[in-house]
Amino acid sequence: MDTFVENFHLKECVERMEYLPLGRTGLKVSKVSFGTGTFSQLYGNLDEAKALEAVKHAVQRGINYIDTAPYYGQGRSEEVLGRALRAIPRAAYYVATKVSRYEREYDGMFDYSAQKTRQSVERSLQLLGLDYLDVVQIHDVEFAPNLDIVLNETLPTLEALRAEGKLRFIGVSAYPLGVLREIITKAPGRFDTVLCYCRNTLFDDSLEEYIPFFREHKMGLICASGHGMGLLTNGGPQPWHPADRQLREVCAEAAAYCKREGVELGKLAMHHALQLPGPATFLAGMQTPELVQINLDAYFEGLSEKEADVLSYLKERVFPKVENKHWEGVELQQYRAAMKQAQLEPNI
């Protein structure tokens, strides 16, 4: 394994971890990977000491791909991750961040310009304490006024930064799968990785039909959030979650059943997500060593007989009740309505 470091890794864990090629990049990434969206106010208060411990716990046990973004805490996630990485050999991991999505307020949320893209990568390098980034992804391209600005400003800027040695590979992310197909088709060979989230879960299996397309374009496929951004956990989602009421209710019913049975829904969700062939890695947000271990156990140990029975029950009796398996367009409509309103209001 290319990222194995003697006297740092727990060799028996690394030997059990599966490492798959990330598209045409030449990188081999752990089947389970570490998301740091949880290192921000998006998922409640962060215990920074536990977060630092979680990163080290994960990498020592063979997780070698870590994902962050400026939007996660407006730099907080990158800053905390940077502190964690100081205690870890650079050869032991690959780190991916993003550009284009930034602030929580709508008027500063997105910026696909060349200038902002360059500034963002420079700031990410500084916060992370790194000389180069392994992957930089264009974050949530569906929010761009049109894809032309992404292809004419954001992407060429990342290509220039790659030529300068500040990043190695370029990726793209979005929630609507059709937008990902469109932009990859419009820029053949220019994207190395693609990140899809909440599209391979107990309530939404729509990623599966897109895998042949991603494979045809030799994309390194990162499958994120098998937990549905918290919907598929015993703790439930955050108040901001864009899912409709009915989907929330079905997931809450599943969580209540798991609690009665003494089982963690998040482990079942992770185990289910991991079964899909095609993705190079399955990315899960984690903020404590305990959560890291639950996800690693879902992969390394599988499910107990009781957990398997609970999962079967949920698949047969609960999740078929879902009426609308995604929230595509919901956040986009909110964003566009807010931006339109801001243009209508007079400056005071």
In the predicted structure, residue 193 carries a pLDDT above the cut 80: yes
In the predicted structure, residue 122 carries a pLDDT above the cut 80: yes
pTM of the model: 0.96
Domains along the sequence of the chain with CATH: 11-342 (3.20.20.100)
Q: In three state form, how does the secondary structure of 17-75 look?
A: CCEEECCCCCCEEECEEEECCCCCHHHCCCCHHHHHHHHHHHHHCCCCEEECCCCCCCC
Identify the pLDDT of residue 346. Answer: 57
User: String of b and e for 49-88 (b: at least 16 CB within 10 Å)?
Assistant: eebbbbbbbbbbbbbbbbbbbbbbbebbbbbbbbbbbeeb
Which class for 193: exposed (0-12), middle (13-18), buried (19 or more C-beta within 10 A)? Answer: buried
In the predicted structure, residue 234 carries a pLDDT above the cut 80: yes
94 is catalytic: no
CB atoms within 10 A of CB 182: 15
Split at pLDDT 50, 70, 90, the class of 348 is very low
Rounded mean pLDDT of 2-10? 96
Q: How far apart are CA 274 and CA 163, in angstroms?
A: 35
Portion of the chain with pLDDT greater than 70, in percent: 99
In the predicted structure, residue 56 carries a pLDDT above the cut 80: yes
Q: Which of 19, 71, 72, 210 is catalytic?
A: 72
In the predicted structure, residue 239 carries a pLDDT above the cut 60: yes
Whether the Cβ atoms of residue 267 and residue 308 lie closer than 8 Å to each other: no
CB atoms within 10 A of CB 108: 10
80's tokens: 């905390």
Q: How far apart are CA 195 and CA 93, in angstroms?
A: 18
Lowest mean pLDDT among 234-243, 259-268, 334-343: 334-343
In the predicted structure, residue 45 carries a pLDDT above the cut 90: no
In the predicted structure, residue 344 carries a pLDDT above the cut 80: no
Identify the pLDDT of residue 260. Answer: 98
pLDDT digits (tens, 9 = 90+) for 283-304: 999 999 999 999 999 999 999 9
Rounded mean pLDDT of 136-149? 97
In the predicted structure, residue 347 carries a pLDDT above the cut 60: no
Average pLDDT, the chain: 96
Whether the Cβ atoms of residue 258 and residue 308 lie closer than 8 Å to each other: no
User: Alpha carbon 122 to chain centroid distance?
Assistant: 21
